[in-house]
Structure 1
C-alpha cells in the first residue's frame, strides 16, 4: 500500500467541531442493527480499518450512535486496490424496515476508480452522490492513497467536497430531487431519500478500507 498521507484534518478555532473517532477505540459507533461494533472494524494506527477477512457474523456497516440533521462532516479515507466503500448519511436504523444502511441513507461513493467494476457505471464513481449525481471534477487519488472528503448538508442544500474541491452541489427533497430518485435504483425503496435526520455510516462492501480524522459540526 502507498503510505503517502495528507495533512491531518484540523478542527476550526471556534471549537464547534466534534470528533467522531478518537483514533484509539470505536466508541460512539456500532454495527448497523446491533448494539456494539463487530470485530471486523478495528481501531488501528489511528484509523478505523475494515478487515474483510473477519468472521461474517462480525461484519456490517458501522454507524454512529447519534443522529444528525444539518451538519458538516469531514474525514480522510483510503481504499485497497479494486476496493469499494461509501459514506452513507441520513440513515434510519430500523433493520426490519430497512435491511441495510443504503435502504434509507444517501451515499458519497468511496471507490478505486481504476480497478473496481462499479467505476464503469455512471454515477457510481468516487465522489459521486451514488446513483444520483455525477461528481465533477474527478479528482480522486489512486488506491492506497489518502483522500479527504466533506459532506455539508444544510436546509436542503447538499455539497460534497473531495480533496478540497466541490464535486457535487444539489438540493434535497424538492420536486427535482423526487424526480431523480424516481429514476434511480432507489425508486422502489420506501421512504428512501426523504429523511432529514439520521445516522452516518461507513460501508462494509467486503473490501479493505481505512477512515481517519472523522469530525462533525452540527449546523
Structure 2
C-alpha cells in the first residue's frame, strides 16, 4: 500500500529530528573509523526490495557468509525487477564511507543489460520508511561500481543520480551518469571505494585511494520520473541534500562487500 501524503510528510519532518538526536551518540567519533557491518549479521541495516514490505529480506538476498556481506540470487526463479537496497538505520551528513567490493557469478537472465557487473552504494538517500512498496530506486546519489565486460574501458566510482542532480564547477549537471577517471577492473578483483561526503557542499569519490570524481550541491530533482523526488519536496524535504541514509545495492548481479566502515567528519 503506498504511503499517503500525510504519512510521507510525517516521515520527512521527523528525519532532521532523528538525525540531530542520533548522530552525537550513534555516529563515529570524529577522526575514528567505526565498523558499519559487524561481519556476523545485518544488525544496523534494513532491507527494502521492490514489491516487498520494508524489512523483508526476500529470498535471503542479503546474507552474511564468512564475514562477507553478500548479495545473492540463488533463491530467485527470476529477477522480475526486484531491485534491492540495504539501508543503514542511521542517517549521516558529514563523513567518509569506505568499503571493498567484488562481483561474483552472472547477472539474472531477465535483468536489464546494464545490470551486468554493476552495483553501487547510495548516499544522501531518502529513508527506507519513505519508499513506496513498488519503488525501484531511492532518491539519492549513487557511487556506481562497475567491472570489465571485455568491451573496452568501463570505469568504476561513477556518479548516478536517481531523482537527483548535482553541480560541478558551479554548473548544474542534469545527465544521469557522470563517469569517473578510474581504470577498469576485473570482475573478481576486490576494489576499495571511499566516498567523502560534506553535507550539501561537496562529495568526493576515491578508488583504491585515488580521487576519481568530485562534485558539489547534491539536490532533489522535482521532474525526475525514476524516483519520486517531487513527492518528497511536496512533503517538505529540502531541495539541497545535506544528509541521508547509506544503502548498498542489489540490482540482479551477485556482489560481495567487506570492510564497511565510516569516519565521522561532524564537528563536536
TM bucket by the smaller chain?
Answer: 0.7 to 0.9
- Over the aligned positions, Cα root-mean-square deviation in angstroms equals 3.5
CA distance in 1, matches of 2:63, 2:213: 30
1:31-42 pair list within 5 angstroms: 31-32=47-48, 34-35=54-55, 37-38=57-58, 39-42=60-63
SS of 1:216's equivalent?
Answer: strand
Matched, 1:83 2:109: no
Alpha-carbon spacing, 1:89–1:210, altered in 2? closer, same or farther (3 Å): same
TM-superposed CA distance for 1:63, in Å, is: 1.0
With the length of structure 1 as denominator, give the TM-score of the two structures: 0.75
Aligned counterpart, 1:113: 148
Gaps of 5+ in 2: 1-29, 107-115, 161-175, 234-238
Q: Deviations over 1:15-52 (max 9, x none)?
A: 62220111111111111262354411111121110111
Aligned counterpart, 1:29: 45
Figure out how many residues of one structure are paired with residues of the other and give that number.
196
TM-superposed CA distance for 1:115, in Å, is: 5.2
Q: Alignment partner for residue 260 of structure 2, among 202, 210, 214?
A: 214
Matched, 1:163 2:208: yes
Q: Deviations over 1:157-192 (max 9, x none)?
A: 11000111100011124xxx78xx699886984369
Specify the structure having the higher radius of gyration (Cα). Answer: 2
Alpha-carbon spacing, 1:68–1:97, altered in 2? closer, same or farther (3 Å): farther
Matched, 1:147 2:191: yes
Residue pair 2:101, 2:192 contacting (<8 A) in 1 also: yes
Alpha-carbon spacing, 1:185–1:79, altered in 2? closer, same or farther (3 Å): farther
TM-superposed CA distance for 1:201, in Å, is: 0.7
CA distance in 2, matches of 1:98, 1:106: 20
**Which structure has the highest helix share of the two?**
2
CA distance in 1, matches of 2:122, 2:150: 22
SS of 1:172's equivalent?
Answer: strand
CA distance in 1, matches of 2:56, 2:228: 30
Aligned counterpart, 1:63: 87
Gaps of 5+ in 1: 1-13
Residue pair 2:61, 2:73 contacting (<8 A) in 1 also: yes
Residue pair 1:127, 1:140 contacting (<8 A) in 2 also: no
Alpha-carbon spacing, 1:187–1:211, altered in 2? closer, same or farther (3 Å): closer
Alpha-carbon spacing, 1:15–1:152, altered in 2? closer, same or farther (3 Å): closer
